[in-house]
Structure formats: C-alpha cells, structure tokens
Amino acid sequence: MTQLERQRTLHDHFEPWVLSEALTRHDLAVAVALADMCGEDDQHLILALAFAVAAPQSGHTAIDLREIREHTLVNAESRSPTRVTDVENLSWPKNAAKWLEDVSKSRLVTSTQSPLVVDRGLIYLRRFFHHEERVAERLTELARASRPTVSNADVSNVLHLSRNQQHAVEVCGRARLGVLTGPPGSGKTRTVVALVADEFVTSPTARVALAAPTGKAAARMAESVAESIDLLSSADDEPIVAAASALQLIVPSTVHRLLGARGSESFRYDVHNPLPFDLIVVDEASMLSLPLVDALLQALHPTARLVFVGDAGQLASVDAGSVLGDIAGADGPIHTCVAELTETHRFPADSVIGQFSSAVLQGDSDAAAHVLDEALGTSALGTSEIDGIVLEMLEEPADVDQFVRDHAVSLVTKASDGDIAGALRQLDAFRVLCAHRSGPFGVDGWNFRAERLLERAEVQTRGYYPGQPIIVTANDPSRRLFNGDVGVVVKDERGLRVAFPNSDLPRVEPVSLSDHATVHAMTIHKSQGSEFDHVVVVLPPDGSRLATRELLYTAVTRARRRVTLVGSRASVLAALSRSERRVSGLRNRLERVQEHG
C-alpha cells in the first residue's frame, strides 16, 4: 500500500470519529504523525494515541481505556448534545483490557522516542507523565521539609480567628507546603492574612507574593485581603502594624504574571532562575492546571514556602489536572499539610442556600433533597427567602428573561454613560451559568437570548457595543490577559474600549483582542473564582452526563445573595447522584512517592 493509499484508508476509517466530534482532525493528524515516527499503523493504536492527544483539552492528564467511551460522551454532550447518539454509534474497541495490552506492547510505548507512557492502567502523553511525576516528587519534598511552627496569638486575636482558623495557620506553617481548603465564606482569606502577618512579624524583610489563576480571582483576592489589613492596622502592637503596612504593598497577580509568562508555557522564572520570594500564596488553587503547578514548583526558590488555598469541593481546573483535589484527597504524610475550614459565614446559619450547598458538598443526596423540598415545597417550584438570601426554582427559561434583560440593559446604560466603575460593578451583579456550551441549555443559546432581549429594548448588538461583557479565551501575556479574564466594553473619550477589573490593566480596543467571546452567560467551569450577587443556574436535563455534584456545588456557591435554578427537581437529584471523574494519577502517585520515599 502506498503512503497516499494508507492516508486515504486512515482518513476513511476515522472520518466518523471526526464528524461526531469525538476527536478533531488535529488530534488524529498528530496521532498519525507520531505513529508513523514509531513505525505503527494499527488503527486501534492510533485511536488510543489520538485520545491521549485530546485528553488535556478535556481536563484529563491521562486516559483510562475502560472509561474513554463514557468520557467522550460527556465531552460530546458538553459541546453539542445532538452529537451524543453519533458518538454512541461509533465502532469502539470491545475489549478495553486487550486494547490497553496492545498499546503497552506497541512501539508507541516501547520505542526510544515513544510518545506514550503506560502507568498503573493509565495512558499518558510522555510530557504529562513527566509533569505529574515532577509535581508529586516536589510536593512531597516540600511536605517533608518541616519547620518551626510560628503562630502569633496577638495576630490571631486582632483578626478574630476561630480555633479552627488558628489550627489552620499552624498546619499551613509546619512545612514548606501548606494547603488550605474550605467552602466560600469559611474564612480562608482571613486565615491567609494571619499566615502572612505571622511571616512578617517573625521576619520583617520577608518577601511574599500573593497570586491567583485569573485576573478576576487576583482582583477579588486583593479586595478580600484589604478588609483584614484594616484590622491589623488598628492593632496596638507595632510589629503587627508594620506587618499590615508590608501586606498593603503586596499586589496580588496572576500566576502567569508571577512566573513571567512569555508564551503559553514559557516563563522567565524557572529552576535556573527561581522566584525571589520566601512565601508564595496561591488562591483559587482548584483552578490551577497540572502544567502550571509544575512550572510554579520548578520556579520556587530552594528555601521558599508555598501555600495553596481553595475549595477542594469545586470542579477541577478547566485545563488539564485536578491538583488541589488530588492533594487534599491523598492519604499519608502529605495530608498533615492540609487544613480544612468547614464553617461558612457567607450565609446565615439557617439560610437555604447555605444548607443546600453544604449538603451537596458532603455528597448527602437525601439531605440536599430535603433542604430543597423544605425550602420550595414538595412541588420544588417556588421561592425561599431568609434574611435576603434567596433560592428559587423555575422550570421555563422564559421565566428568567426579566432578570437577564434588566441586568443587560443596566450594564449597557452604565457603559454607554462612561460609568466604568459602575459597569464593572454591574458585571458582577448577575450571570447566567450553564453546563453546556451549545444547544437549548447552553452558553451559546443564552448569549443569543440575552442579545435578542437587548434588541427588543432597542439596544444595537451588532459588532461591539457598550455593555457587552467579554471573556478572554486564550492567554495573551503581552497584554497581561489570560484565559478566563472577564471585562466589559465601555465608552470613553477614545471610543469603545474593554475595561477589566484589574486597575493596573490598560483598557484595550475590542478589535485588538485575539481570542475572546461574549459572556452574558458562561459555563459553570469558567465561573470558578468568581462571585455574583445573583446567579441563574441552567440545569442539564435529568439524564445528562454533565449533571454532577461538583457542577451543582460550584454553580450554587458562585452566588452572594440569590440563586435561581432553571430546571426540574429530577435534574437536581440527578446531579446529586453523580460525581465528576477527572482522570489523573497524581493522588495515587503522591501516596506511592511517600510510601517508597
């Protein structure tokens, strides 16, 4: 068979996989090229390699051939629910164990330049295997590097820390690695401020950095920290006041900016040029990808401490990896570096949102269903309000049109009037959150719906317009903009510009942005690290593979005051019964490294 004939045969064989969107032409082209380099032409081997190439785009660091069909169905539904049947009807290999055995024995794994690594039943691209290996080894090294615990009682008193928070400060300070987890409103930021203040009281010249995965999360971190700094500044103790002054000078940045991003994966700071900090605290760590954590760990100064802060109950990173969840869930010595805050102060103790999110987080389906029924009645259709905290459930999308229209019109008005601060505040007042990207339940449909509602209110939405919310969808280090940053189109003296919450970011012309999208609605994954006064959560149908406990918990906890669930009671209960499965070997590897280290 000639090379041309072979390529045509492969094209014909894999075309259904492309048309169903199970794989992209790029995934297959890369797989075919790598297989050629290894001298392999078996179609099942190429298929496994193509899925390994595609895995990081779906958040997985590896593939498990026993689960690959189910994961592909989840991805298909997320992108386009109409493709699910097409994916189900593909010619899947029938014996996953035999498929894995064939891959393991192939030159894709055994040759000198092999692109794949098979470890404990998982298939990795070699690059991601090394990411995971390095991260596990480095985290374990930091966890084993014990240090004298420094916890200043005066700092704790000034910040009114609970016993649980004081214990968390001690846990996160006993080694060079600290991990602080807890739900929104549990006092994580106040605990972090105590941790950093202790560092400054002990070592006034300490170099400290605060960071978060996105510009939005970094801006929120700055706001939260500022509230606690005011308490420290009012102390009678001079070293504590000095610590407050030092904290005030720290401007939280994105992790990419901290590392000096030069491109998608190239950084100024690395193992040969370490970061000049004694302590680095990273907020919203559930959003960190495995490659980014690897880069951060490689760039960490040989004597520096690293503290991850986040909510391990949330969805994992949009990108590849589930690092925070893997660390928090690992048994063994590394668990001694993990502190968990459980009591939340965002909602009143008897708030229905607080009770509901707590039950979902704990995986207690019966309790969550009971809270929902008690709040809304047995029909699960209605509204519950306690102290201004509202949970409501509506079955028809049209029932929330008034919310969507009022918010969008207010955003347009402020942005058109040049009220940039007001527009940015309004941007955080409301958001529609979806599990799907397309289809009747998806982001695309809700963005279209919002703009049609604006047009009915006589707002022109063709091209760019004042009040148009924008989300950056790819890193742009030259502008210090990164995937997930959200801004709004405003009118200023120069015309239309996109303003972002970070005050140190310049306003940019909309047409000059590379990868971006309108974001009246966004996926629940993309909403991580954000808070809104009111969220509308568009639930998937009760048979949806996307409906998971983590998805529902993440969506509900984005709200400060009001949650509107759009869907049925059955769709809520379906989500409570299913947990997200992110393919990663990091948790297992952390436990193995510690056992044999």
Digit-coded pLDDT (tens) for 242-290: 888 888 888 898 898 899 987 667 889 999 999 999 999 999 998 899 9
Contact 505, 497 (CB under 8 A): no
Q: Are residues 139 and 271 in the same domain?
A: yes
Residues 6+ apart with CB under 8 A from 478: none
CATH number at residue 224: 3.40.50.300
User: Whole-angstrom Cα distance, residue 420 to residue 429?
Assistant: 14
Q: Which amino acid is at 511?
A: V
Predicted confidence at residue 96, as pLDDT, reads 93
Domain boundary among 64, 93, 119: 119
* DSSP characters over 107-124: HHHHSTT-SEEEETTEEE
Q: Which amino acid is at 235?
A: A
Kindly state whether residues 106 and 163 are assigned to the same domain: no
Give me the residues paired with residue 279 across strands: 208, 305
Q: What is the pLDDT of residues 14-47, one digit of tens each?
A: 888 988 888 899 999 899 889 888 888 889 999 9
| 502 within domain boundaries | yes
Strand bridging mode 177-181 / 122-125:
unpaired
Predicted confidence (pLDDT) at residue 103 exceeds the cutoff of 90: yes
State the average pLDDT for the chain: 84
- Residue 245: CB partners within 8 Å, gap ≥ 6? 233
In a domain, 462, yes or no: yes
According to the model, what pLDDT value does residue 126 have? 93
Same domain, 55 and 178: no
Shared domain check, 283 and 165: yes
Average pLDDT (143-164) is 80
In this model, does residue 384 exceed pLDDT 50? no
Considering the domain architecture, whether residues 151 and 52 belong to the same structural domain is answered as: no
Pair 279, 148 in one domain? yes
SS3 state at 106: coil
- Asked whether residue 306 is assigned to any structural domain, the reply reads yes
Helix axes 352-361, 549-556, angle to 10 degrees: 150
In a domain, 333, yes or no: yes
Q: Is residue 482 part of a domain?
A: yes
Domain assignment of residue 364, yes or no: no
Give pLDDT tens digits for 479-524: 777 777 889 999 888 888 998 876 666 788 888 888 899 999 999 8
Q: How confident is the model at residue 377 (pLDDT cuts 50, 70, 90)?
A: low
Which has more confidence, 231 or 44? Answer: 44
Task: Supply the DSSP symbol for 180.
Answer: E
Residues 443 and 543 in one domain: yes
448 and 481 share one domain:
yes
pTM, rounded to two decimals: 0.82
487 and 464 within one domain: yes
For the cut 70, the answer to whether the pLDDT of residue 4 exceeds it is no
Could you give the number of structural domains in the chain? Answer: 3
Q: Which domain holds residue 411?
A: 395-566
Is position 366 within any domain?
A: no
Give backbone dihedrals phi and psi of 176, rounded to 5 degrees, phi first.
Answer: -80, -5
Are 104 and 142 in a shared domain?
A: no
Instruction: Based on the fold, state whether residues 69 and 143 are members of the same structural domain.
Output: no
The reply to whether 574 falls in a domain is no
Q: What is the DSSP letter of 546?
A: T
Q: Is residue 87 domain-shared with residue 197, that is, in the same domain?
A: no
